[in-house]
Amino acid sequence: MFRRILDHERDAVATYLVSASPVEIVGPVARALGMSGGALATTAAVDGDGIYTGELVGPFCYGAGKVTAIEAEAARVGIDLGRSWAYSDSASDLPMLGAVGNPVAVNPDKKLRDVARESEWEILRTEARHGLRAIVAAGIVTGGAGVGIGTAMLLRRLNRRS
């Protein structure tokens, strides 16, 4: 999976890490992975003294909240979601996968695998069929990066020249 991030970036395509986790965690991971788009993640509001208020800035980036976040970013920077890619291992990301033109199920859970097959989406396996799914839980989308985010996703923006 990390190779796909690198391939997208080498093609001058902005990549994003989209996660329900806090932006304070997801942002540094996206930077470490070289994702030029950065992070779209759950963001907590802070007051003038830098104290968390208990409110969120923007959506809780889970389920439909991820769609809200990627649609806002797409509108802000001119991304055509119909020509974009999203990767996930979990059925909880079906709203996000359905919002892009190129959804990819990566080591999918059973429900996502079933939907991906029915919808004829790409299914990418990065572990042995009988391997430990802990690889997914331990990393970005597929475990290839070795950083714990859990339900993180990648959104790919296609080069406007294509």
Structure tokens at 19: 């996660």
DSSP tally for the chain: helices H, then strands E: 6, 8
**What is d(CA 84, CA 82) in angstroms, rounded to the nearest whole number?**
6
pTM of the model: 0.76
State mean pLDDT over 86-96.
Answer: 93
**pLDDT, tens digit, for every residue of 25-43?**
999 999 998 888 999 999 9
Domain boundaries, the chain: 2-156
State mean pLDDT over 131-146.
Answer: 34
Q: How confident is residue 49, by pLDDT bands cut at 50, 70 and 90? A: very high
Q: For the domain covering 2-156, report its CATH number.
A: 3.40.50.1000
